[in-house]
Structure 1
Amino acid sequence: MKHEFTLEFWEDDGWFVGKLKEVPGVFSQGETLQELEQNIADAYQLISQDDQMDTHPPAHTKGIFLSGNWGQTTFSRKRISRAETPRRREEAETTGEMH
């Protein structure tokens, strides 16, 4: 049985990145839009198979309040080395290891 979903996608550093709006957790990427569509289809199949096997424990839900600028998030592919993480930076400043 085929279902129609909405693929929300954007370009990030030369890659097409996307998600299915109606199915939380189905994200993927591809070098082309066609590759993204195939990868999204594969991800959807994996999620569907997992749901059919019912191998995970029962889920619970809880409402939470969050503040922020929804829709204003910027994604980046910048890699952060251990020395650049705030915790590591703080440790280095404390021990005098900063370069």
Structure 2
Amino acid sequence: MSDAADSPGDAENDLLLSDVLMENPDMQIPVLVGESFVSFTNDEVQEHIQGLKDRTKKEIEGLESRVKTIKSEMDVLKTALYEQFGNNINLENDGSVVERAPSFPA
């Protein structure tokens, strides 16, 4: 998941290292917003990138929290199913694929 957060960071680093921007800090930089390019100053682009980074970080944290909740719910369900069926079922994710019989329309 960290790849998504790195993209805005890479863009920010590219801007900071740009010799052209160091020579002309008021230069207009085209930024893709939706389907159009909009020109911004270096400072505005930095703010935009920081906003993207913050938003992406919050999305990742939310998704990680959701994964944790779902895994917890799965553990509760596994416990209940093992109590009911014992070793007659296998609920462990060992990477094997269980083939299902093809379903036909009624």
Report if TM-score (shorter chain) is over 0.5.
no
Structure-2-length-normalised TM-score = 0.28
Structure with the largest fraction of strand:
1
> What is the TM-score when the length of structure 1 is the normalising length?
0.30
Give the structure, 1 or 2, with the largest relative contact order (CA under 8 Å, sep 6 or more): 2
Larger Rg belongs to: 2
